[in-house]
Amino acid sequence: MSVIGIDFGNESCYVAAARSGGIETLANDYSLRATPSAVAFDGKKRIIGVAAKNQQVTNMKNTVGGFKRLLGRKFNDPHVQHELTSIPARVEARPDGSIGFKVNYLEEDQHFSPEQLTAMLFTKLKETSAAAMQTQVNDCVIACPIFFTNAERRALLDAAQIAGLNVLRLLNETTATALAYGFYKNDLFEEKPKNVIFIDFGHSALQVSACSFTKSKLKMLASTWDQIGGRDFDLAMAEYFSKEFQERYKINAKTNARATLRLLTEIEKLKKQMSANSTKLPLNIECFWEDIDVSSSMQRSQMEELCAPVLQRVEQTFKRLLAESKLQLDDIHSVEIVGGSSRIPSVKQLIEQVFNKPASTTLNQDEAVSRGAALQCA
C-alpha cells in the first residue's frame, strides 16, 4: 500500500508517490499528469477531471469547477460572493446558509456542496493513482494554501474522508515546495544557512515564502500571499476583447455564458503563447455568436498594460516578503519559481527587479507541490 501526495489546485490537481527510491508524479486515465479540478453530471453519469473539462462547453449547466476556494464557507461570505462572479455554474444558498452547486443528476435537480464535489474529485484521484501504481491507496498527504483557515482545512479533511482517504497530514503548499527543493538539493547544504525564496503563482493565488536550509533542517522565515492568479490575467484580457467585439460586431459576449467560456478558453491559450512569444498573436473564434466568426490579436506588451494592476500586486507581495523575512539581497541564494503563472515573463522580470536574482527553475513548476507532499511521508 502506498501513500500519495495531492496538490489540489483551483484549476488542476497533481498526484505524486514515493516509488523505488524516488518520487514519481502519477499519470491519470488520459496519460496526463494534470487532472482538471472539474466535476460534471450527465444523466446518470458522473464525469470527473479531464473528461469533465472536455465536455464543459456542451454541458455548461452541469459542469462545475472553482470549488476549492469555496470550501468551509457560507454562501453570503463576501469572499464567496466574489468567487461566484467567475464561476459559470448555478450556485445557490442552502436553507442552512451553506453553498449548493445546482446540477441535474439522475433526472432531478440536486445540490452538491464544495466538500462533496471535492470528495468526488479526490475519489477519482484515488482511483487513478491506484491504477497507476497497481496497488490500493488509502493514505495521503494533501497540500493546501498557506492562508487556508481552520474551517477551510476542516472542510478539506471532510472531503477526503468522504472519498475514503486517510489524511496523514495537511501540508501548506509553500512547505511542500520547500520540501521538494530540499530533497534534491540536500547535498549542497552546509552548516551555514542558505536562504531560498519560493514563489508559487497559480490560477487563483500567489504564495511567496522565504526558507533557510542547513544540512539538517528547513526553517520557514516568512510567507506572504495575495488572492491573485492566472485567472486575473485572463479576465483583464477578456474585458478588452469583449469591448472590441461589442464595437466591431455588436456582440455582448458577457450576456452569454457559453460565449464567455469559449472566449476565456481561447484567451488562456493566447496568454500561454505570449509567455514564449512577444510578437502580435491572433485570436480567432469560429461561430462565436450564432454564425458570426470573430478575430482579433494581441501582443505581450498590450497584455502587460491591461494587467498592470495585477502585476502591481505581484510586486507588492514580493516586496512584503523581502521586508518580513528581514533578508538582505546578498543573503538570498536563489529564487525558485513554481505554479503555471510563474511562466509569465513580466513576473520573472519583477522577480529580478525585487530580489536582484534571476528566477530559477530547479523544480518542476507543475509537479513540485505534489512531490513535496508525497515526500512528507516517504
Per DSSP, the three-state class of 62 is helix
Nearer to ligand ATP, 215 or 269 (CB): 269
Binders in 331-360 for ligand ATP, by CB under 6 A: 339-341, 343-344
Q: Are 301 and 311 in contact (CB under 8 A)?
A: no
Residue 205, binding choice from ligand ATP, Mg ion, none, Cβ under 5 to 8 Å by partner class = ligand ATP
Told to judge if 7 belongs to the known catalytic residues of this protein, a careful annotator would answer: yes
Give the nearest distance from C-beta 176 to ligand ATP in angstroms: 11
Residue 35, binding choice from ligand ATP, Mg ion, none, Cβ under 5 to 8 Å by partner class = none
Q: Are 342 and 336 in contact (CB under 8 A)?
A: no
Residues 9, 182, 229, 230: which binds Mg ion (CB under 5 A)? 9
How many whole angstroms separate alpha carbon 142 and alpha carbon 314?
Answer: 26
Nearer to ligand ATP, 124 or 333 (CB): 124
How many whole angstroms separate alpha carbon 156 and alpha carbon 221?
Answer: 26
Going by their DSSP bridges, the two strands 12-19 and 22-25 should be labelled as antiparallel
**Residue, CB closest to Mg ion:** 202
Is residue 62 within the footprint of ligand ATP (CB under 6 A)? no
Is residue 203 within the footprint of ligand ATP (CB under 6 A)? yes
Per DSSP, the three-state class of 256 is coil
Residues 90, 185, 272, 320: which binds ligand ATP (CB under 6 A)? 272
How many whole angstroms separate alpha carbon 113 and alpha carbon 65?
Answer: 12
Is residue 275 within the footprint of ligand ATP (CB under 6 A)? yes
Q: Are 123 and 164 in contact (CB under 8 A)?
A: yes
Piece in contact with ligand ATP (CB under 6 A), picked from 19-27, 198-206, 218-226, 251-259: 198-206
Q: Are 204 and 181 in contact (CB under 8 A)?
A: no
Give the nearest distance from C-beta 357 to ligand ATP in angstroms: 21
Is residue 28 within the footprint of ligand ATP (CB under 6 A)? no
How many whole angstroms separate alpha carbon 166 and alpha carbon 139?
Answer: 5
Per DSSP, the three-state class of 149 is coil
Binders in 107-146 for Mg ion, by CB under 5 A: none
Is residue 367 within the footprint of ligand ATP (CB under 6 A)? no
* Residue position matching grid coordinates 497497481: 134
How many whole angstroms separate alpha carbon 378 and alpha carbon 374?
Answer: 6
Q: Which residues contact 309 (CB under 8 A, 6 or more apart)?
A: 236
Binders in 174-213 for Mg ion, by CB under 5 A: 202
Q: Are 292 and 262 in contact (CB under 8 A)?
A: no
Piece in contact with Mg ion (CB under 5 A), picked from 2-10, 49-57, 156-164, 347-355: 2-10
Residues 204, 212, 317, 346: which binds ligand ATP (CB under 6 A)? 204
- Total residues binding ligand ATP (CB under 6 A): 21
Told to judge if 173 belongs to the known catalytic residues of this protein, a careful annotator would answer: yes
Give the nearest distance from C-beta 9 to Mg ion in angstroms: 4
Residue 117, binding choice from ligand ATP, Mg ion, none, Cβ under 5 to 8 Å by partner class = none
Which ranges of 254-338 would DSSP assign to H, the alpha helix? Answer: 257-274, 300-306, 308-325
* Residue position matching grid coordinates 466535476: 39
Give the nearest distance from C-beta 270 to ligand ATP in angstroms: 10
**Residue among 110, 160, 118 at smallest CA distance from 139:** 160
Residues in the chain: 378
Give the nearest distance from C-beta 342 to ligand ATP in angstroms: 8
Q: Which residues contact 75 (CB under 8 A, 6 or more apart)?
A: 91, 92, 93, 94, 97, 98, 99, 100
Piece in contact with ligand ATP (CB under 6 A), picked from 3-11, 52-60, 283-291, 314-322: 3-11
Positions touching ligand ATP (CB under 6 A) are 9-12, 68, 202-205, 229-231, 268, 271-272, 275, 339-341, 343-344
Q: Which residues are catalytic?
A: 7, 68, 173, 200
